[in-house]
Amino acid sequence: MKPKINGPAKIQSDLFPCTSTRVCWKSSWDCSIFHVFREVNFAADSLAKMGHEMEMGIHCFVLPPGGITGVLQEDRDGLLRSRLIYV
């Protein structure tokens, strides 16, 4: 069973990936950040939506979660999707 972390330590542990990324940027690594619209990277958008239904914390997958494999193949093949904007 995973121990519960509360208070400032919880905030720090939740932000660890961001903190470690910042350390890499400040080191001698050559890093670049690019924005990719969700219409082109639908797998990332789908995983983000799945995250809303998961327990808080870091989740590592050995295999792509159910339903993502097809989306990954479509992203790889360059399938574009339109975004509906409600006005």
Q: pLDDT tens-digit profile of 19-60?
A: 666 666 677 777 777 777 777 788 888 888 888 888 888 888
Handedness of CA 7, 54, 25, 27 (dihedral sign): positive
Residue 83 lies in a domain: no
Cα gap 41→29, rounded to integer Å: 25
> What is the residue type of 73?
Q
Tokens of 11: 């905030």
Cα gap 67→82, rounded to integer Å: 20
Residue 33 lies in a domain: yes
Residue 21 lies in a domain: yes
Global pTM?
0.52
Tokens of 40: 């082109």
Task: State which residues form the domain around 44.
Answer: 8-76
Residue 85 lies in a domain: no
Q: How many domains does the chain have?
A: 1
Residue 86 lies in a domain: no
Residue 59 lies in a domain: yes
| pLDDT-derived band at 78, boundaries 50, 70, 90 | confident
